[in-house]
Amino acid sequence: METEPANDDVGSVEYDYFMVRSSRPAPGHAGTIRGLVEHLATGEKRRFDDGSELLKLLSNWSATA
C-alpha cells in the first residue's frame, strides 16, 4: 500500500490527476478492462483496450505533461 509523502517532502512531489471510466466483461466472460482516461489538467481524453495500454498512457502523460 502506497502512502502520502511526509509533509516536508510534499514540495518535491508533482502529481497528475486523471479520471478513468472503465468497463469490464460480465463475470464468466473472457475479456479485459477497457475504457477512457482523461488527463484533468488538459481535458485530453484517450481510449484504452487493456490494463497495459492504460498504464502506458498514464506513464507517457506524466512524462510529457
Q: pLDDT (tens digit, 9 = 90+) per residue, 4-63?
A: 555 555 567 788 899 999 987 778 777 788 999 999 989 999 999 988 999 999 988 866
C-beta separation of 36 from 47 below 8 A: yes
User: From CA 42, how far away is CA 59, in angstroms rounded?
Assistant: 16
Task: Please give the tally of structural domains in the chain.
Answer: 1
The predicted pLDDT at position 56 comes to 94
| Grid coordinates given for 65 | 505533461
Could you tell me if residue 16 is inside a domain?
no
Domain interval for residue 64: 31-65
Could you tell me if residue 36 is inside a domain?
yes
Could you tell me if residue 22 is inside a domain?
no
Could you tell me if residue 25 is inside a domain?
no
Could you tell me if residue 6 is inside a domain?
no
Could you tell me if residue 58 is inside a domain?
yes
Could you tell me if residue 52 is inside a domain?
yes
The predicted pLDDT at position 32 comes to 81
